[in-house]
Amino acid sequence: MTKIIFFKLKIATKLLIAIKKPKIVAITGSVGKTSTKRVVAEVLKSKYNVLYQEKSYNTQTGLPLSVFGLESPSNPRNPITWLKVFVKMIPKFFNYPYDVLVLEMGADHPGEIDYLTKLVKPDIGIVIAAHKVHTELFKTLDAIFKEKSILAYRAKKAVINIDEQNLREGLYPKLNNPVSYGQNSSADFRIDNVCRSGTGTLSFDLDSDGRKASINSTTISKEQLLAYSAAAAVGSILEIPLDKIKTSLEKMEPSKGRMSVFAGKNNSLIVDDSYNASPKAVVAGLNNIYEMKGRKIAILGSMNELGDYEEEAHRVVGRACNKLDMLVTVGEPAKKFIASSANKSGLAESKITSFTSPVAAGNFVLENIKKNDIVYIKGSQNRVFNEEAVKILMHNKKDHKHLVRQEEHWMKIKRQQFEDMK
């Protein structure tokens, strides 16, 4: 059945694109795909009718659903649910108002980017990073790098993050007339003069070819600024004026579970980064809160799909925890490697507590939280779900709607997991 669904999705997608001819902006990378996709889409909306999915639909089934603007069926193993999806596709061939599609391309296994780029043939391809994630199927960093690079070679115009050394030295020079972005001094779209306000938000200059825009953002994440410069590059390629790019970037709000800031209990501040986790992203998140004023608390969950790199990845995170005032871990790998590594790096054992459940972790921090504390919360999704710790610490219940994985499908999975932990 799976092969039949793949085939029908492929044919429908190719046919729709051939008929409607939208511009395709595709994004790949080991981190930051969804955040970059959203910022790019918001910038392009200032001129075009843009289609993109908030969710990470970036696989052989997910990407075609994104092209049609449809949700994944609730029971993907049931052929009837797929029949309903295909029926919903039919009207799209007659009423499809989109000029530009902004799509994610995931690479959970070798050959996936090759398949997806042949499926939609991108006009613009953004490559963010090639890191050691999903190493259960990609045995080496070089294999990940080669997979991500396929998008740059296949796209009509490649947009490359040259802050990443392996992309700057191993990919960018080999491309035909690429565009670069980042904080590197040679980037075509460069982030300069980053400043953090008293509330933690960032302002910066966006420089491009002698033009400069001073931008006051709503984000507290320096890493998010990479997405801003990528979006500026794509906007410029598609002929959006710099003043419109500036306006769009200043209106951007963080995506769910990606460095979102909320009022916490006892007049604390909650930084919700719970969507997913990789070593580099966790360390970056910690470095951001270290620059903010207040006692620093982190609730860090285990990181999944790291294969042979699991122990070292968690120890890397642990070593970055030495400036915390309190560390709370969720999950066995986090306890075994993050907590122990943090302690060896100078964080007192009395400041470290470990739990198997995010609910228990959230309740523990709630008992200890004080005025002006900053609580940073991050972890992988399956078997961790640290958004449930965020929920406990939020001051306003109405903010629960801004959390990831609150749909009934996910809540059922979480209820079962937490019940098994009792």
Cα separations in angstroms, 68 against 37, 40, 271: 16, 19, 33
Say which amino acid occupies 114: D
Rounded Cα gap, residues 165 and 184, in angstroms: 10
CB of 221 closer than 8 Å to CB of 288: yes
Rounded Cα gap, residues 84 and 76, in angstroms: 11
Q: What is the CATH number of domain 260-420?
A: 3.90.190.20
- Res. 1 pLDDT band, cuts 50 70 90: low
Encode pLDDT of 204-250 as tens digits: 999 998 899 999 999 999 989 999 999 999 999 999 999 999 999 99
Encode pLDDT of 299-310 as tens digits: 999 998 888 889
What are the sequence ranges of the domains in the chain? 2-251, 260-420
CB of 28 closer than 8 Å to CB of 113: yes
Rounded Cα gap, residues 36 and 39, in angstroms: 5
pLDDT for 135: 54
pLDDT for 421: 64
pLDDT for 30: 85
Residue 22 corresponds to which tokens in the numbers above? 């939208």
CB of 213 closer than 8 Å to CB of 253: no
Rounded Cα gap, residues 254 and 269, in angstroms: 15
Class of domain 2-251: alpha beta
Q: What is the pTM of this model?
A: 0.84
Encode pLDDT of 239-285 as tens digits: 999 999 999 999 998 888 999 999 999 999 999 999 999 898 999 99
Encode pLDDT of 123-165 as tens digits: 999 999 988 765 566 778 888 999 999 999 999 999 999 999 9
